[in-house]
Structure 1
Amino acid sequence: MLSDVSFEFETSLKELSGKLTQVETVIDLDALRAQVASLEADASKPDLWDNPEAAQKVTSQLSHKQSELRRVTELRSRFDDLGVLYELAEAEGDTASLAEAEAELANLAKDVDALEVLTLLSGEYDARNAVVTIRSEAGGVDAADWAEMLLRMYLRWSERHGYPTDVYDISYAEEAGIKSATFKVTAPYVYGTLSVESGTHRLVRISPFDNQSRRQTSFAHVEVLPEVEEVDHVDIPEKDIRVDVYRSSGPGGQSVNTTDSAVRLTHIPTGVVVSCQNEKSQLQNKVAAMKVLQARLLQRKKEEERAEMDALRDGGSSWGNQMRSYVLHPYQMVKDLRTEFEVGNPSAVLDGEIDGFLEAGIRWRKQSGAA
């Protein structure tokens, strides 16, 4: 009997080793170590905090990369220790240690699967923080209550993982619950992780607001967007600018300057044109024109980012409608309508235990090519 168990354990261990090796290859540990070393060098520069915004970005990236590296190396260390533990336990016939090894194998497999899911997050915005908005939809007061239940679910999920949250706004409904809420979750790859939650969530239960205790179906919509990174300037390469100089002119075309001091800047890639002739010298006019050009290009960039966010919002809604059903009566079940992943314990799900749904959603999106 022991030999059969041993064979099964070793087979599982071998499969897990292959999966962990594959994850390490995708992550590219050598490249990750090099990134950590480079960021550590940047973080140790004495003038780092001369630019607080840049310093914050460096320290944040360093923390994220160190955490990622530590997570992978700790899994490998646990895997190596597990093999040794099982060999010793089997040699000594220690049933307690064998049971401990079996439990660790199950936990390790779960943690490797979770890390494998992160390697599937390769979208442009996946590494960013997430901004989540929940809105009550059809269902009256039950829908408002349902929206508040979803808010608690996501905040509890964030709390379980140690992810900081910042609630930006809550609009409370008149009788109970909320009309809408918006909050940010801060963590590496949390946008990529939570983006699969976008869509309509349906709740079926006996309404606590119905004096006849009738069954009620309520709807709430979840929107997940990546946090937009703030940009306070636009770098404009000289090769992208055409500079034309001409004489300043007054009202009616009257020349007010006998030198070519007025400046016209044309941003070649976009066609944006800026002119300045108010200053006395050509250099002063060029500096002023550059400030205006930078402001216009920054506004243009913000508009493009807003359009990208709208595209993401529309994309999420299109494939995410009616994405999950939570049934509390007449039976107990939560089921994802895209992945078919389901759980028979709604209370645990509503208390933030949604990792199974997130992992299934990420794998489903990768396989189906959904945006």
Structure 2
Amino acid sequence: MRPETSATIDQLSATLTSIEKVMDPETLRETVRELEATAGDPSLWDDPAHAQQVTTKLSAAQAKLRRLGELRGRLDDLPVMYELAEEEGDASVADEELASLQAAIESLEVTTMLSGDYDDREAVINIRSGAGGVDAADWAEMLMRMYTRWADKHGHKVDVYDISYAEEAGIKSATFVVHGEYMYGQLSVEQGTHRLVRISPFDSQARRQTSFAEVEVLPVVEQTDHIDVPDSDLRVDVYRSSGPGGQSVNTTDSAVRLTHLPTGIVVTCQNEKSQIQNKASALRVLQAKLLERKRQEERAAMDALGAGGNASWGNQMRNYVLHPYQMVKDLRTNYEVGDPQKVLDGDIDGFLEAAIRWRMAAERAAE
């Protein structure tokens, strides 16, 4: 085995050991045993909401244990793979496994950095088209596709709550939830303004167009968050759902628009089958927005007292350039790739990991 390869394997083993100390496999095993006992109680499903929480936590804990075990097993097998490769005179397969394992361990290491109050939550994503007319509406829809494809590749379910279609092409806005542990922690770094530069497919003279879309990422609210929304603070409007081109999706007035009177926040939901379901989904999004507002106010108060540094960053956080050259670059981390189509097809893990590391370094510097 080459000395540099041996050194890389030793470094990966040290990194994985550090991850194991943070994730604590023995505690995870105990958690799994307790949750399995709870899940085996026949009365659990008397409360479906609680039962769903238990089964979700059990699946997540089992997945963490399985992932740690698989990574350690693969790492232990690597020296044997290289021994066999030396006998055969071809180390390409072993080198590919080393590169794959390195990426997997680095990705898992990033999740151990997600220790914020809401990082382990599911994520609500709002996308709004900005400056740029029809190109901006098309760009907003491209971003929605990018995130849903990323979620799909990682096995995370997506529920679309609302889409407001633009007249010519694309969307004015969209709201959807990405389910899964640590979705908010991972995707919160995507919040900000995304800028696209390309030859406009909607311009008859084929001119270059710059367009913008805004991405907002919120943690899903849980019952323990105590975000009360009295009925007296709400105005509820119902209307008929509509699809692309203004076509009617439902024949009944099932879509719901909630207006929070004290703040003026407006939330809509039209993708559920009934008015009751749409109202419940819209209320969850409204609570998430109110929770984020509360967090921002608390952070501003702490900053005013000198208790923390400036944890915010500029709104324009990433450029996607399709013309005159091909590049996607994050303006905070300087991480960039030369294949925009791959990124737009959902390959954003490199950007997420770089931004999470950047955010952690910024928080440490502020402390």
Give the TM interval when normalised to the shorter protein: 0.7 to 0.9
**CA deviation digits over 1:258-290, x for unaligned, max 9?**
xxxxxxxxxxxxxxxxxxxxxxxxxxxxxxxxx
- Give 3-state SS (helix, strand or coil) of 1:134's partner: strand
Distance 1:306 1:110, change over 3 A: closer
- Give 3-state SS (helix, strand or coil) of 2:194's partner: strand
Distance 1:193 1:135, change over 3 A: same
Distance 1:322 1:313, change over 3 A: farther
Counterpart in the other structure of 1:308: 291
Whether 2:333 is the aligned partner of 1:339: answer yes
Structure 1 residue 46: Cα displacement: 2.5
Distance 1:169 1:306, change over 3 A: closer
Using the alignment, how far apart are the partners of 1:36 and 1:172 within structure 2?
44
Counterpart in the other structure of 1:174: 167
| Aligned with residue 69 of structure 2, among 70, 73, 77 | 73
Counterpart in the other structure of 1:213: 206
Answer whether contact 1:146 1:219 (CA < 8 A) is retained.
yes
Whether 2:20 is the aligned partner of 1:24: answer yes
Answer whether contact 2:134 2:168 (CA < 8 A) is retained.
yes
- Give 3-state SS (helix, strand or coil) of 2:177's partner: strand
Q: Write the mapping of 1:107-122 to structure 2, written as runs, cut at 5 A.
A: 107-122=100-115
| Aligned with residue 321 of structure 1, among 311, 315, 326 | 315
Using the alignment, how far apart are the partners of 2:51 and 2:203 within structure 1?
55
Answer whether contact 1:198 1:320 (CA < 8 A) is retained.
no
Which residue identity lines up with residue 179 of structure 2 in the other structure? T
Distance 1:338 1:14, change over 3 A: same
- Give 3-state SS (helix, strand or coil) of 1:319's partner: coil
Q: Write the mapping of 1:1-371 to structure 2, written as runs, cut at 5 A.
A: 6-90=2-86, 93-96=87-90, 98-230=91-223, 307-311=290-294, 318-369=312-363
Distance 1:324 1:312, change over 3 A: farther
Identity of aligned residues (%): 60
Answer whether contact 2:220 2:288 (CA < 8 A) is retained.
no
Using the alignment, how far apart are the partners of 1:180 and 1:87 within structure 2?
55
Distance 1:331 1:115, change over 3 A: same
- Give 3-state SS (helix, strand or coil) of 1:219's partner: strand
Using the alignment, how far apart are the partners of 2:291 and 2:147 within structure 1?
25
- Give 3-state SS (helix, strand or coil) of 1:41's partner: helix
- What 5-or-longer segments of structure 2 have no aligned partner? 228-284, 300-309
- What 5-or-longer segments of structure 1 have no aligned partner? 235-301
Answer whether contact 2:221 2:291 (CA < 8 A) is retained.
no
Distance 1:107 1:232, change over 3 A: closer
- Give 3-state SS (helix, strand or coil) of 2:42's partner: coil
Which residue identity lines up with residue 350 of structure 1 in the other structure? L
**Post-superposition, which runs of at least 4 consecutive aligned residues in structure 1 deviate over 6 A?**
231-234, 302-305, 313-317
Structure 1 residue 49: Cα displacement: 1.4
Which residue identity lines up with residue 321 of structure 2 in the other structure? V
TM-score (norm 2): 0.76
Answer whether contact 1:154 1:352 (CA < 8 A) is retained.
yes
Structure 1 residue 307: Cα displacement: 4.1
Which residue identity lines up with residue 166 of structure 1 in the other structure? D
Answer whether contact 1:199 1:317 (CA < 8 A) is retained.
no
**CA deviation digits over 1:120-157, x for unaligned, max 9?**
01111111111101000111111111101101111111
Structure 1 residue 313: Cα displacement: 6.8
Using the alignment, how far apart are the partners of 1:359 and 1:351 within structure 2?
17
- Give 3-state SS (helix, strand or coil) of 1:171's partner: strand
Q: What's the RMSD between the two structures over aligned residues?
A: 2.5
Which residue identity lines up with residue 343 of structure 2 in the other structure? V
Which residue identity lines up with residue 19 of structure 2 in the other structure? V
Which residue identity lines up with residue 37 of structure 1 in the other structure? R
Using the alignment, how far apart are the partners of 2:332 and 2:61 within structure 1?
32
TM-score (norm 1): 0.75
Using the alignment, how far apart are the partners of 1:8 and 1:318 within structure 2?
39
Distance 1:233 1:127, change over 3 A: closer
Answer whether contact 1:225 1:312 (CA < 8 A) is retained.
no
Using the alignment, how far apart are the partners of 2:134 and 2:294 within structure 1?
31
**CA deviation digits over 1:173-229, x for unaligned, max 9?**
111110000001101111100000000000011111111111111000000001112
- Give 3-state SS (helix, strand or coil) of 1:330's partner: coil
User: Which segment drifts farther, 302-311 or 25-34?
Assistant: 302-311
Answer whether contact 2:221 2:287 (CA < 8 A) is retained.
no
- Give 3-state SS (helix, strand or coil) of 1:369's partner: helix
- Give 3-state SS (helix, strand or coil) of 1:329's partner: coil
**CA deviation digits over 1:19-48, x for unaligned, max 9?**
111111111111111111111111112321
